[in-house]
Amino acid sequence: MLESNAGTIDQARFNLPHSRTLASPTITDHSPCKMPLHRLFFLSPPSQPPLLTPFVHLRPQQKGKPKFLHINSPSKPPLKPLNSIKIPVNLQTSQTPLFKALETLTKIKPFLQTNHQPILLGWLCSSASVFSLSQIIPRVGSFSSNLINTVSISKLREQCLLLGVLVLVKLVACYWQQAFLWEASLRTVYKMRVFVFQKVLERELDFFEGCNGVSSGDIAYRITAEASDIADTVFALLNTIVPNTLQLFAMAMQMLVINPSLSLITAMVIPFMAFVIANLGERLLKISKISHLSIATLASYLNEVLPAILFVKANNGELTERARFERLAYTDFSRHLAKKKMKALIPQIIQIIYFGVLCMLCVGSLVVSRGSFDGCSMVSFVTSLVFLVEPIQGVGKAYNELKKGEPAIERLLDLTKMKSKVIEKPDAIDLSHVKGEVKFCDVSFKYADNMPLVLDGLNFTVRAGETVALVGPSGGGKTTLVKLLLRLYEPSSGSILVDNNNIQNIRLESLRRHVSLVSQDTMLFSGTVAENIGYRDRMTNIDVEKVELAARIANADEFIRTLPEGYRSQIGPRGSLLSGGQKQRLAIARAVYQNSSILVLDEATSALDGKSELLVREAVERLMENHTVLVIAHRLETILTADRIFLLENGKLEELARSTFVARHRDSLLSAGAVI
């Protein structure tokens, strides 16, 4: 990292997209910059060698935050060149550790604020605990001297009882302090998780499947394990802000009252301790960041491989996968070991300082007191010191927890940062009923600026109640067209109309209620048969009669009744307890239940056995009745039953007469894997 100038923004940081390389980049143009921006450095993607010319100077005087930097690459780059690139800039302020800690706290503040009640109660209990401690300490001193001076038994008993009560109050208050503060911390994380997951669900499809997308395993890891780390951090902070400060203050007062000169000697050690803790904390932060990444990679890997276990086994991939896993697991092991070692080292260093201070005090007390420091005061002073060091250790621990939790907080909230490109207009309309006319007006689309057009000026209309077959070679853009109709992506140009309403003016929920998708990969969830068919009403009230009717139409009722608990039978993760044909019929039943006016069927390419095939075909035909249907067809039978046929090839759409279809496209359909 670069050295920083406190109080200025001196670093602009961003990730270069994969497969991009710049040689000797210089900035030729940039939007105005609010604060001095002295240096720009590049983080190369993990797959690429470290980058390039890391320093670029920017003029410091302008106002406003830069949103984009135009970077030119003047010299001939050794790798595939990219001569000009426009990159969104994520400015990082030059921060001291304290500033960074405060910034992290600000990020979680909105979630903390909703839990003010347990926080306040926890802090109230901590005040009671510190108060009783401050009452205990002088009494311990006088109790010990009374023991030596043999005062009356009854007085001793009285003192002993009072001490016992105070200790009990401290213990109870301490318990409730921790219980309330844990409640606040865990609730904070619960709220963060819910918020982040809601934001993740709102993201457009590109976020999940684009070239810069986040893998589902990584998202899962951030929301589960890393969020748990945040709970530890929040607790450590809450426990430090008030309880440790109160205790520190109370003990310091006690010591000052007992012996001011010795207290001053002790105070001199505190900045040194703080310095050591801060430095070690910074190191821990760096190690934590790396270890978070390695475990996230491991989780992503498992998330990818385990659902594909059938493929792995069928292809004898166990050895390869074992080796891949071993490599990732080893990286994670070594990074976590480094983190744990650092975590183990920090308390030891604090202990060394701690004992150093105690020794110094013993010597100091002899030198400073010169006999005026009685035993009672000595006991009280040392006890105060022990309880003074405890919160200092607490501050150190909290700081380390914060350093450990900072990357987790950053990575979790990163998921919520970017705005979705698919935005619902505030005045978007709700369509209560849809006849089912779909119109594509000059629609073009590409997945990214640097990618070729997948759809190129598409114009076609599907009349209400009509069945249209969409055919074409693999990769021709059929699924992409459907994604645009469901507004999972925005067209690069042109518009899509449903019943003459531009879909950009329709509420997303409303649009997707009227357009049902039955995809090739039957998406079923763990849960009961009824829950899967009535998925649309899962959060409200699933209509059992409607579920059974849908299942009968989809030829699924018969097999469902043979299951151990009928409609209440569990179907396993992703419907793993069902056969391929059963899964397809269940997905069709779900579409029947949804009863949308527009149906999009992505016909499954995998062949079923004769009887199953017939049952699915019948189900599909019944489903298509009285609907506008756009079917991505792979089988000749389906294509020929459609009212019209469209061929989508090289981004262009062409309507074909049914009579000429087979003759003209028999070969290309066969080569595309169509069953003819």
Ligand X SMILES: Nc1ncnc2c1ncn2[C@@H]1O[C@H](COP(=O)(O)OP(=O)(O)OP(=O)(O)O)[C@@H](O)[C@H]1O
Nearest CA among 586, 674, 597 for reference residue 633:
674
State the number of binding residues for ligand X (CB under 6 A). 12
Task: Examine residue 522 and tell whether it contacts ligand X (CB under 6 A).
Answer: no
CA distance 225 to 189: 11
Q: Which is nearer to ligand X, 204 or 332 (CB)?
A: 204
Q: Smallest gap, in angstroms, from Cβ of residue 486 to ligand X?
A: 13
209 vs 414, which CB is nearer to ligand X?
209
Please report where in the chains the tokens 């009783």 appear, as a residue.
132
CB of 89 to ligand X, least distance (A): 24
* Residue that has been written with the tokens 């992506």 in this structure: 489
Residue 635 sits in the site that holds ligand X (CB under 6 A) = no
Torsion, Cα 416 419 421 422, to 10 degrees, reads 70
**DSSP string across 466-489:** -EEEEE--TTSSHHHHHHHHTTSS
Q: How far is the CB of 472 from ligand X (least distance, A)?
A: 6
* Under 8 Å between Cβ of 458 and 484: no
As measured in angstroms, the least distance from the Cβ of 474 to ligand X is: 3
**Among residues 252 and 645, whose Cβ is nearest to ligand X?**
645
Could you say which DSSP state residue 257 is in? H
CA distance 192 to 203: 17
Give the span between the Cα atoms of 393 and 266, in whole angstroms: 15
Classify residue 549 as left (phi > 0), alpha (psi -120 to 50) or beta: alpha
Distance CA 465, CA 609 (A): 31
Using the minimum distance from each CB to ligand X, give the nearer residue, 33 or 214. 214
Q: Does 474 bind ligand X (CB under 6 A)?
A: yes
The reply to whether 521 sits near ligand X by the rule CB under 6 A is no
**Which 562-621 residues touch ligand X, going by CB under 6 A?**
none
Closer residue to ligand X (CB): 393 or 516: 516
Place of tokens 């003016």: 505
Report, in Å, the least distance between residue 449 CB and ligand X.
Answer: 12
Binding mask 156-195 for ligand X (x = CB under 6 A): ----------------------------------------
Binding segment for ligand X (CB under 6 A), chosen from 336-344, 354-362, 426-434, 475-483, is: 475-483
Residue 179 tokens read as 């219980």
Cα(496)–Cα(647) distance, integer angstroms: 19
Using CB under 6 A, pick the residue from 7, 74, 356, 475 that binds ligand X: 475
What is the closest distance, in whole angstroms, from the C-beta atom of residue 497 to ligand X in the complex? 21
Q: Which residues contact 366 (CB under 8 A, 6 or more apart)?
A: none
Find residue 502's DSSP bridge partners. Answer: 497
Output the smallest distance, CB 210 to ligand X, in A. 5
What residues between 476 and 515 interact with ligand X by CB under 6 A? 476-480
What gap in Å lies between CA 203 and CA 488, rounded to an integer? 9
210 counts as binding ligand X under rule CB under 6 A: yes
**Does the footprint of ligand X cover residue 447 (CB under 6 A)?**
yes
Residue type, 135: Q
Q: CA-to-CA distance for 341 and 347, rounded, in angstroms?
A: 11
Phi and psi at 593, nearest 5°, equal -60, -40
Q: Which residues of 91-118 are buried (b: 16+ CB within 10 A; e: fewer)?
A: beebbebeebbeebbeebeebbeebeeb
- Residue from 184, 454, 458, 589 in contact with ligand X (CB under 6 A): 454
**Quick check: 209 binds ligand X (CB under 6 A)?**
yes
What distance in Å separates the CA atoms of residue 405 and residue 233, rounded to the nearest whole number? 6
Residue closer to ligand X, measured from CB, 255 or 639: 639
- Residue 14 structure tokens: 């961003």
CB of 209 to ligand X, least distance (A): 4
DSSP line for 82-104: --EEEEE-EEE----HHHHHHHH
Binding segment toward ligand X, per CB under 6 A, in 110-118, 227-235, 473-481, 527-535: 473-481
Of the pair 213, 527, the CB lying nearest ligand X is at 213
**CB 632 to ligand X: min, Å:** 7
| 638 counts as binding ligand X under rule CB under 6 A | no
* Identity of the residue, 219 or 454, whose beta carbon is nearer to ligand X in the bound complex: 454
Helix (H) or strand (E) holding 493: strand 493-498
Shortest Cβ distance from residue 673 to ligand X (Å)? 8
207 binds ligand X per the rule CB under 6 A: no
Q: Which is nearer to ligand X, 403 or 478 (CB)?
A: 478
Q: Which is nearer to ligand X, 373 or 447 (CB)?
A: 447
Name which of 521 and 565 has its Cβ closer to ligand X.
Answer: 521
- Residue placing its CB nearer to ligand X in the complex, 209 or 326: 209
List residues near ligand X by CB under 6 A.
209-210, 447, 454, 472, 474-480
